[in-house]
């Protein structure tokens, strides 16, 4: 089963990344390699760039802080941003150490062999239950919004040589850039066969609250037997309807079988002149494409006392596309011309080769699958909304909402 996420939020994320890369490339061209720059300046800049690239690299494996320099170190200060980060987003971070004198000294990210820094990020051990550290000091926030819902993204850094010297900071979660549209598709069909039906999709919706959001909309999405994944939203910012778009599409029909190759033409008889080779037979027609699978079932589960929450989901059960027709078979090869066979001194010619047979016709495209049933709305008690498969992170959020913190 493949998952294709389509959402404005996701597209924005990709386009922002693209602009960032493009912006970085444009900055280099504009500030250093403008066509108007004289050749001498361009050469100097190029030498400087190459020197910097060669002199700044990862520290050696045995690189360690000077014990005398870090003796009496008091604490680590983490400066991270932005102040609020979406699940899966990048957290930029810098680090400083307070020495015994009270002076704050930054940790370098780069290393120069001739001038090694006093402090470097490799001297830090960085851990978080909610984010993954990068070698350069930055972090990637966990993409699961339930992980950071109660505590945000907690970042800790401490000196490897002196674990008691540490720093801590928290970044608040932001759900405004989470995707809101998803399309799930059944498996494609075998050659000439029908595609599989779209998967069963269950959407569970309930208002909760967290230390960061007084009213938080939580959607747990289950596809087939896979564990649920989550979409969160600030209830004060979401539209009144069609906040989540769910497609369960049937699988595409299998491509039709390729046509068989035409029979080869017979060889011409020997003689003077040799006989012409026979024409190749036509290629066989391609098989028809398989039918698309039927659209899957979508179930929306909401609290019985808040049935209008179901209006936030636009559920679509779509038939799969028909498979493409098989390619027509290649035409058979023409027969060889007959060999020369005659008395000595005769002026004879070999027979002409036969023509290649025509290619077979392509098969027709298979029919599209039929739509599945309309979405089913299932009202239940609040305690039953998320079913039996509740993670500890979600259970903590529910307990916080219901007033019985664990």
Q: What is the pLDDT of residues 252-283, one digit of tens each?
A: 999 999 989 989 888 888 888 878 878 888 98
Q: Name the range with the highest mean pLDDT among 12-16, 76-80, 343-347.
A: 76-80
For 355-392, the pLDDT digits (tens) are 998 998 999 999 999 999 999 999 999 999 999 889 99
Q: Check residue 273 and give its pLDDT.
A: 83
Give this prediction's pTM.
Answer: 0.74
Q: Check residue 307 and give its pLDDT.
A: 93
Q: Check residue 48 and give its pLDDT.
A: 40
The arithmetic mean of pLDDT across residues 219-239, rounded, is: 94
The arithmetic mean of pLDDT across residues 204-230, rounded, is: 95
Contact 144, 87 (CB under 8 A): yes
Tell me phi and psi for residue 212, to 5 degrees.
-105, -20
Confidence grade of residue 332 (pLDDT, cut at 50, 70, 90): confident
* More confident call, 207 vs 113: 207
Q: Check residue 62 and give its pLDDT.
A: 85
CA separation for the pair 353, 374 (Å, rounded): 63
Q: Which helix (H) or strand (E) holds 79?
A: strand 75-81
Q: Check residue 389 and give its pLDDT.
A: 82
Beta strand 201-208 pairing with 298-303: parallel
Contact 332, 265 (CB under 8 A): yes
User: Which has the closest alpha carbon to 248: 7, 8, 3?
Assistant: 3
The two three-digit tokens of residue 404, written as one number: 């019985």
For 198-210, the pLDDT digits (tens) are 999 999 999 999 9
User: Which has the closest alpha carbon to 65: 108, 124, 16, 118?
Assistant: 118
The two three-digit tokens of residue 393, written as one number: 């992170």
- Looking at every residue in the chain, the average pLDDT score rounds to 84
Q: Check residue 270 and give its pLDDT.
A: 87
């Amino acid at each position: 089963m493949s998952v294709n996420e389509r959402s404005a939020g996701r597209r924005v994320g990709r386009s922002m990344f693209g602009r960032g890369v493009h912006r970085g490339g444009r900055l280099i061209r504009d500030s250093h390699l403008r066509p108007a720059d004289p050749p001498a300046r361009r050469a100097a800049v190029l030498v400087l760039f190459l020197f910097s690239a060669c002199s700044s690299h990862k520290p050696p494996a045995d690189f360690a802080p000077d014990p005398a320099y870090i003796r009496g170190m008091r604490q680590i200060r983490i400066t991270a941003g932005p102040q609020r980060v979406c699940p899966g987003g990048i957290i930029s971070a810098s680090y400083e150490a307070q020495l015994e004198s009270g002076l704050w000294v930054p940790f370098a990210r780069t290393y120069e062999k001739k001038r090694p820094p006093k402090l470097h990020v490799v001297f830090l051990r960085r851990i978080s239950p909610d984010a993954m550290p990068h070698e350069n000091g930055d972090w990637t926030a966990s993409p699961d919004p339930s992980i950071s819902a109660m505590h945000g993204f907690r970042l800790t850094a401490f000196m490897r040589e002196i674990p008691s010297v540490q720093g801590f900071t928290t970044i608040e979660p932001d759900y405004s850039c989470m995707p809101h549209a998803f399309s799930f598709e059944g498996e494609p069909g075998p050659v000439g066969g029908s595609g599989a039906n779209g998967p069963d999709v269950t959407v569970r919706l309930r208002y909760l609250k967290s230390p960061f959001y007084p009213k938080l909309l939580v959607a747990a999405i289950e596809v087939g037997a896979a564990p649920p994944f989550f979409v969160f939203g600030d209830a004060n910012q979401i539209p009144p309807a069609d906040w989540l778009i769910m497609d369960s599409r049937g699988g595409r029909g299998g491509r039709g079988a390729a046509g068989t190759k035409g029979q080869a033409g017979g060889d011409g008889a020997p003689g003077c002149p040799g006989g012409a080779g026979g024409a190749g037979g036509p290629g066989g027609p391609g098989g028809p494409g398989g039918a698309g699978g039927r659209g899957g079932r979508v179930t929306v589960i909401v609290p019985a006392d808040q049935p209008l929450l179901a209006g936030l989901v636009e559920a679509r059960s779509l038939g799969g596309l028909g498979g493409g027709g098989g390619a027509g078979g290649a035409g058979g090869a023409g027969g060889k011309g007959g060999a020369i066979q005659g008395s000595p001194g005769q002026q004879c010619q070999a027979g002409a080769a036969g023509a290649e047979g025509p290619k077979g016709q392509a098969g027709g495209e298979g029919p599209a699958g039929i739509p599945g049933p309309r979405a089913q709305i299932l009202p239940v008690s609040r305690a039953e909304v998320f079913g039996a498969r509740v993670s500890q992170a979600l259970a903590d959020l529910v307990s916080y909402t219901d007033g019985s913190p664990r």
